[in-house]
Structure 1
Amino acid sequence: MKLKSLILGSVAAAGLSTAGFAADLGVLTSLDVCDELGLSGLTISSDTNCLQISGEVKYEFSFGNYNEKYVIATPWFLGSVEVDDPSNVVGSNNDWNSKVESYLKFVGTAGSDFGPAQAVIKIKDVQRYQGTNGVAIVHGDTKLSFDEAYVQVGDTTVLTAGKRGSIFNKGDDEPFNFTGLFISDRADKGVIADENAGAITPARGGHVIQLWSNIGEGLIAKIGLEALDKNGADSNKAGTLVGVLDYAGSGVTAHISGAVGGLLDGVQTAGDTYLIHTGVTATFDQFKVRGALAVGGAYDVGAAAYSNYWNGLVSAEAKFDMFKLAVSAEALGGRTAAGVALDTDFGFGGSFGATVTEGIEINIGGRYFNDGVAGVGDSYQVAAQLIASLTETIKLTTEIGVYGHGADTVLKNRNGVAALNPAYSDFYGKAELAWTPGGGFSSSVGATVQQNGAYKVTFKAAKAFQ
């Protein structure tokens, strides 16, 4: 499209010319196509299609001494919850990280006998450079790529095919207390659902064929075949069947999602996994309650059987005129493929929040984690937070707290070393000044200092458009 046509079309879209004047100019005269389709934002219209354009650029820079990690809690098979730890080597101990994330998304929509027909293309770029102990390296992030590229048609029933995210619903599972929970932190901020949780969950998204239908009365049913693009070392994960039933009614949202992975190769391998994720949130006046459960497993070739796991979470919140209370609890357990029961990890947390005056809010809370193994120290965090709106566009958030765990009286592999670890605690303080002047722009600068000597200063800036 010529630059002259784009400029004249923009003028017409802004209402600075009449339809007749636009016709005389011989430029975009079908500017009502987007309105007819109910589409808005940054658009370009032809006779039959409306092209929506959106995008975002995010920049983040960090500097300090924080590259080492100290393990606070280890929910089994999910990985570790860690705090920053400073290095102390000969020469420089400076660490830094510079990251730019950006995307452009184009959605072309036209009417059809079956509902809106769309082609979606999202181009994404991630560039990251970091330094560790004074030595700069290029991080292995994916560079310019097609993050999404798919076609879609339908209204109350929608068919989608191409490259995009999963239809698997993993919502309604985050705890309400402001510090969260330890197992939840390692399980995608809820119960187990993350497709990147090692080899225990089915691969999802990628190349997909998906179908969903609005049944009515708040019910939506979805089915899809996903992860069709797995290859090489991940070939045994190719092909995941996903099914979802969502509900949204008066004061209640709920879902049940199921996935079975590794279907395309037709044989039982280590890539064969399954996962069921369900969650419900109900609101009654000033009270809100939530429950979530994940159940899954993975095939063990050596044992010719499936291991299994379960992860549950409950949380409740009560809001009153000036304050709110929140409590949460979680547990994680399962069996090996040989049928041996694993020790059950569990944890709980709570918080109190209050609006002191207009624009000033405080939160006080903590969380606790029990490893489930006798002789392994328990983990905890206690924190106090102050949020102050200094102006309509500037907000200050400060927090002080302590992380810690008890002494281990049995050998525990922590930080890669099996040892009788002594009790550990680390006090910290952090502050962030955020600025949102409008126009979709946001920026912040923050700093964290820790008792163990680690520190980090972070600057962020972002702008989105649509």
Structure 2
Amino acid sequence: MKLKSLILGSVAAAGLSTAGFAADLGVLTSLDVCDELGLSGLTISSDTNCLQISGGVSYEFNWGDFRTEDDIAHTYDGDRVISVGDDPTDWNSKVEAWLKFVGTASSDFGPAKAVIVIKETDLTRVNRSGAVTTVDSDGNFDGLQLDEAYVQIGDTTVIMAGKKGSIANLGDDEPFNFLGLFNSDAIDGKGVGIDGDYTGIGGHVIQVVSDLGNGVSAGIALEDLNSDSAVAGVVPAFMGSLVGVLSYAGENLTAHVTGIAFGILDGNVESWAIHAGATGTFDAFKVRGAVSYWDNFKFGGTDVVHALVSAEGTFDMFKIALSGEVANENPGVTDYGVGGSIGATVTEGVSINLGARYFTSNAGVGDTYQVAAQLVAAVTETIKITAEVGGYFGDEITFHHGESVYYGAAELAWAPGGGFTSSIKGEVNSEEAYKVTFKAAKTFE
């Protein structure tokens, strides 16, 4: 209960005992600003603004012999790698913390907000040579970072300006099978894209998004207005991006198309990209398709396309998923991949997953396969055990490792409530690498 509400309630109760206070009772019992705005959680209110506070802290510690890495499968945007043992011990210790403040007041155009997000990542990494690396949020060792700071106003149509993430919708693109796909795995968020998340979006922005009704929303934005990136000898600067988004969210279908024009501030579009995806749910079946294209010619690269399709069916205790992908980076580099899995609920709280995936690339020396079996068991309402064994096979593996690579992993996760989560995980493979990971986190709002 808010302290202000408690005080107002006490005064109101006292007023009821005296008729002389009746005229003032309407003022004394007026709603708190946060209640008037429909805002809840950890809040502090003034006469005109409601301040919401949320945050979190997470900790991760890794120990073992895992720093050396070698190729698993060659993909168009970088090699897949696997840890290789090399005797000396490695360890990482990382703390991440964030605080978010949202101040909201009413206006004639809808809620007016100021948002500030402070974030810090403190990482110490010790490698096998004994070298110690310490990194904070931006690598400059300068303490807390201003992760977001922007103003926002509106209800069905919202205007935002300042430092924040992009309005680009890059969803509806993750494969359903539990192992995923090799190229998709190399993309941040396990989807379709180019070289991880698109560069040149977010940052300093001016954005407008609007709910058009019937599940349709649209947005347009100027983003990356603070960028000074450049490609030496190719373009003078890669500054400013124009982002447009059209999305639909219905009962059985979600879909979107996002378009991005990069480097627009000098009056010339240096490059452009498009990302589209859709997910349909039909009784026991789910179907998903996604495609990403980047015209990268002006940056000294080549046009890139990455597409995938995925389907999932649930039949009583069984769940079956199939996925396929293709990626092309001209000239002459085409990657293909397929994957599938079957899951079964053995008893209440216990399930198993069997999966396999395949990958081939013109940039590699041959094919790559992975097969795995996974067991997930909810021991109690708060404790879950996950175990997995599997292996990597094919010409690409034997070329880099001389033989197939086998691995095993087990994780114990604990979520007792209150926003607290914790886990400990052990991993080992036939390349004599091993890793133990401890995690703990707590959020509040």
The reply to whether TM is greater than 0.5 is: yes
Q: How do residues 198-217 of structure 1 correspond to structure 2 at under 5 angstroms?
A: 201-217=198-214
Amino acid at match of 2:380: T
Aligned mate of 2:286, from 288, 304, 309:
288
1:236: which partner in 2? 237
1:284 and 1:370, CA in 2 relative to 1: closer, same or farther beyond 3 A? same
SS in 2 for 1:119: strand
Give SS of 1:115's match. Answer: coil
Say if 2:175 and 2:191, in contact at 8 Å, map to a contact too. Answer: no
Name the TM-score, length of structure 1 as normaliser.
Answer: 0.86
Give the equivalent residue in structure 1 for 2:10: 18
State how far apart, in whole Å, the 2-side matches of 1:313 and 1:275 are. Answer: 17
TM-score by length of 2: 0.90
Which residue is 2:326 aligned to? 331
Q: Distance in 1 between matches of 2:74 and 2:34?
A: 52
Identify if the C-alpha distance between structure 1 residues 294 and 240 changes in structure 2 by more than 3 Å, giving closer, same or farther: same
SS for the counterpart of 2:125 is: strand
Cα shift at 1:423:
4.8
Cα distance change of structure 1 residues 354 and 98 upon mapping to structure 2, 3 Å threshold: same
Q: Name the Cα RMSD after superposition.
A: 2.5
Is 2:118 the partner of 1:123?
yes
1:13 to 1:394, Cα distance in 2 relative to 1, 3 A? farther
Structure 2 contact 419–443 (Cα < 8 Å) conserved? yes
Q: For residue 98 of structure 1, what is the aligned residue in structure 2?
A: 93
- 2:388 counterpart letter in structure 1: E
Given that 1:346 and 1:372 are in contact with CA atoms closer than 8 Å, whether structure 2 keeps it comes out as: no
- The answer (yes or no) to whether the contact 2:113–2:152 under 8 Å persists in 1 is yes
Residue correspondence of structure 1 range 379-394 to structure 2 within 5 A: 379-394=368-383
Structure 1 residue 231 displacement after superposition:
2.1
Q: Is structure 2 residue 209 aligned with structure 1 residue 219?
A: no
In structure 1, stretches of 5+ residues that fail to align are 1-8, 336-340, 410-419
Q: State the alpha-carbon separation in 1 of the partners of residues 149 and 53 from structure 2.
A: 14
- The Cα of 1:122 is off from its aligned counterpart by 0.3
| d(CA) in 2 for partners of 1:79, 1:295 | 17
1:319 aligns with one of 271, 293, 314: 314
> Which deviations, in whole Å up to 9, do the C-alpha atoms of 1:307-329 show, x marking residues without a partner?
31111100000012211000000
What's the CA shift string for 1:409-434, capped at 9, x where partnerless? Answer: 9xxxxxxxxxx656542111110100
1:188 aligned onto 2:180: no
How far, CA to CA, are the matches of 2:397 and 2:179 in structure 1? 24
Counterpart Cα distance in 2 of 1:315 and 1:173: 9
Question: Is 1:258 equivalent to 2:242 in the alignment?
Answer: no
Equivalent position of 1:455 in the other structure: 434
**1:83-108, CA deviations, whole angstroms, 9 ceiling, x for partnerless residues?**
111124xxxx0100000000000000
| 1:412 alignment partner in structure 2 | none
Q: Report the Cα distance in structure 1 between the residues aligned to 2:287 and 2:410, rounded to whole angstroms.
A: 31
Distance 2:190 2:422 in 1: 28
Does the CA contact (< 8 Å) of 1:381 and 1:404 recur in 2? yes
- TM-superposed deviation, 1:217: 1.4
Distance in 1, Cα, partners of 2:156 & 2:332: 45
Corresponding residue SS for 1:180: coil
Distance 1:314 1:37 in 2: 43
Residues 19-54 of structure 1: CA distance to partner in whole angstroms, max 9, x if unpaired? 537999xxx987621111111110011111110000
Aligned partner of 1:452: which letter? Answer: E
Matched to 1:362, the amino acid is: I
Q: Secondary structure at the match of 2:237?
A: helix
Question: Cα distance, 1:377 vs. partner?
Answer: 1.5
What SS does structure 1 have at the residue aligned with 2:200? coil
Q: Where does residue 47 of structure 2 map in the other structure? A: 47
Across the two proteins, how many residue pairs are aligned to each other?
425
CA–CA distance in 1 between the matches of 2:287 and 2:400?
38
Question: Partners of 1:343 and 1:263 in 2: how far apart?
Answer: 29
In 1, Cα distance between equivalents of 2:57 and 2:316? 38
1:38-437 superposed matches below 5 A: 38-76=38-76, 78-88=77-87, 93-133=88-128, 135-142=130-137, 143-193=143-193, 196=196, 201-231=198-228, 233=230, 236-266=237-267, 272-300=270-298, 307-335=302-330, 341-372=331-362, 376-406=365-395, 421=400, 423-437=402-416
One-letter identity of the residue aligned with 2:248: Y
State the AA in 1 paired with 2:148: E
Contact persistence 1:31–1:46 (CA under 8 A): no
Residue identity (%) = 53
In 2: Cα distance, 1:194 partner to 1:308 partner: 10
Q: Equivalents in 2 of 1:207, 1:22: separation in Å?
A: 52
